[in-house]
Chains A and B, each alone.
Chain A
Amino acid sequence: MYTDKVMEHFMHPRNVGTIPDADGVGEVGNPVCGDMMTFYIKVKDGRLEDVKFQTFGCGAAIAVSSLVSEMAKGKTLDEAMKITNQQVAEELGGLPPHKMHCSNLGADALHKAIENYLEKQNRQRPEGGGEEKKSQDKEAHFHCPFCDYTLPENAQLCGHCQIRLIRCEHCGEYNREKDETCRHCGAGLV
């Protein structure tokens, strides 16, 4: 079911743990849907000096988190913000289709940790600021949260991975139609 690379990361995940004095913390998912990832970052001179994670979830979720932490370490915030879930899945040699929808949220968790750091900096953004750029991106076009396919505004179905989508009324993020709670902010979905 899984590629050798997924199994290797599952067996020997990199950067597991917490950072007690982290500069930013980001969490996605919730235990109810089976996957939850928490990322901790340390930032120095605009780069991710350290990245650690904890994951509750399946083999894919653990491998995804591990790879994201590896990819992100040492990168500038901007570079790290550009890591996509799709890249992570490709880097792992692919994930089973049904795992694309729940377990492949590592990049989102990392981005949330970076956003959390930026917020703490009183919204002082580095030049060409990551968060600002991302929000501009979001205004320009929408992406499927599971496969990163570009979606028209208010799409109800991803034309690429065929997952039915619903937007969270609270935070505006896309979720699976079947989800009961938002995987990004935990709000109830209608």
Chain B
Amino acid sequence: MNGFYADKQAAAAVRPEVLEAMLPFFTENFGNPQSLHSVGQKAARALQTAREQLARLLNCQPEEIIFVSSGSEANNLAVKGLALANQARGKQIVVSAIEHVSVLKAARFLEKLGFKTVQVPVDSYGLVDVGKVAEAITPDTVLVSVMMANNEVGTIEPVAEIASLCRSKGILFHSDAVAVVGNIQVDVRAIGLDALSLAADQFGGPKGAAALFLKKGTKITPLIDGGVQESNRRAGTENVPAIVGLGRAAELAMMEMDKKGQRLARLRDRLISGVLTRLDEVILTGHPERRLPHHASFCVKFVEGEAMLLGLDLEGIQVASGSACTSKSLRTSHVLTAMGLDPAVAQGSLVLTLLDGTREEQVDYFLEKFPPVVRRLREMSPLYTRFLEEKKDVHR
């Protein structure tokens, strides 16, 4: 047993096959894809191969891929770039209340330029209601952005329905699929997306490589001006080794995704039911069925997330939390707040995202170590003492 790392969403090891594909592009194949000589052209070909590999995973054309540096950049490019380039069609943007901050803050930036943002609420499972999206749309709406699955609670959103709604009204639709691509099947054609964000580090690729799928013929304003890279849509010398890694990771994901997803979903269910049976006053956050196969998230009442995280770390278990104390901004997760969770309960947030190689014995190890960590913290929690006293009073 080498402990249990369950924070895949924050970071995961680059797959050995991916690293192997990348390495030559740091050394012998160091060329700049924009150079016309043979050294440069070798890098250009590698870039093209990666573009084709990713296009196959998404079921799109290679020229519909824009390589960027991170999921946040892809989201910024989508929201700002689409809104700015298409503002003649309208100046209102519709987003869900649980989008990643890179979408929400990009929208806030646009507000300073005279755009208007409407946030669509979610239900207690973190599910976006398509009807509410329809209500938020006005003749002035230029862009709708709703994530494919939420990173904090794992809920998979009804993006196909939202896409068809947008299509029927001639509105651009972007989906942040950073938590999704490479983990479950995503067919951008079948869904009917105009733009989609993804990041390599979520499926065995390196940090520093991400992409925006942009449907052919869609106008976009670049965030970075300069050279002609990425067909004039993202200037700057391409991060060739990382992009090669993204391509190879996409190829591997395509072959293994379904089998891997089924295996992880079983482990996830074992973990969720194990936690809920071993501890009382714990809430599963997010949707019980419509959730990412590798994602389990909870709110443990009367304790604070960071303290649990530290306690677990001392047992060799690494997880994440959306509590205010865990975030350096000291703000409670906007996702949990939008789901209507009591802010005090939201402080007990715990998020586990399973690595591809997670084993059943690791899940069982967690189920053994987690309850004592919670019990220890509850014993020193004034809120738990109060809860027990109130319970006693009720039974009296």
Contacts and interface: CB of A to CB of B under 8 A. Distances in A.
Contacts of A32: 332, 343-344
Contact of B325 (A10, A27, A35): A35
Nearest to A13: B380
A102 B382 contact: no
Interface string A42-86: 000000000001111111111000000000000000000000000
B310 A102 contact: no
B306 A58 contact: yes
Interface in A157-190: 178
B115 interface: no
A116 interface: no
A76 B343 CA distance: 38
Contact of A31 (B310, B314, B326, B347): B347
Nearest to B305: A58
B382 A34 contact: no
B307 A58 contact: yes
B383 A36 contact: yes
The secondary structure that dominates the A interface is: mixed
A125 interface: no
A31 to B, nearest CB: 3
B379 A16 contact: yes
Contacts of A31: 343-344, 347, 383
B332 A56 contact: no
A38 interface: yes
B323 A59 contact: no
Contacts of A62: 307, 380
A160 to B, nearest CB: 18
A178 B303 CA distance: 23
A182 to B, nearest CB: 15
Contacts of B384: 56
Interface residues of A, number: 34
From A31, A36, A37, A99, name the one whose CB has the most chain B CB atoms within 10 angstroms: A31
Nearest to A57: B304
Interface residues of B, number: 26
A30 B342 CA distance: 13
Contacts of A143: none
Interface in A1-34: 2, 7, 10-11, 13, 16-18, 27, 30-34
A10 B310 contact: yes
Contacts of B380: 13, 16-17, 53-55, 62
Contacts of A54: 380-382, 385
A13 B347 CA distance: 21
Given A55-B380, A58-B326, A34 B307 contact: no
B190 interface: no
Contacts of A53: 380
A55 B381 contact: yes
Interface in B137-158: none
Contacts of B381: 54-56
A58 B304 CA distance: 6
B114 to A, nearest CB: 27
Contact of B310 (A13, A36, A56, A59): A59
Nearest to B323: A34
A38 B328 contact: no
B1 interface: no
A55 B382 contact: yes
B330 interface: yes
A33 B346 CA distance: 10
A151 to B, nearest CB: 21
B314 A34 contact: no
Contact of A35 (B302, B304, B331, B385): B304
B280 to A, nearest CB: 17
Interface in B356-396: 379-385
A34 B347 contact: yes
Nearest to A30: B344
B382 A101 contact: no
A103 B306 CA distance: 12
Max chain A C-beta neighbours (<10 A), residue from B303, B310, B379: B310
B324 interface: yes
Contacts of A30: 344
B328 A34 contact: no
Contacts of A101: 330
A92 B304 CA distance: 21
A178 B329 CA distance: 11
A38 B330 contact: no
A55 B385 CA distance: 11
Given A27-B382, A34-B325, 16 more contacts: A17-B380, A31-B383, A32-B344, A34-B324, A34-B332, A36-B382, A54-B382, A54-B385, A57-B307, A58-B304, A58-B307, A59-B310, A61-B304, A61-B325, A62-B307, A102-B324
Which 8 A-B pairs rank lowest in CB-CB distance, beginning with the nearest?
Answer: A31-B344, A58-B325, A58-B306, A54-B382, A34-B324, A38-B382, A32-B343, A34-B325
30 contacts: A10-B307, A10-B310, A11-B314, A16-B379, A31-B347, A32-B332, A32-B343, A33-B330, A34-B325, A34-B330, A34-B347, A35-B304, A35-B325, A36-B382, A38-B382, A54-B385, A55-B381, A56-B302, A56-B303, A56-B304, A56-B382, A56-B383, A56-B384, A57-B304, A58-B304, A58-B310, A58-B325, A61-B307, A62-B307, A102-B324
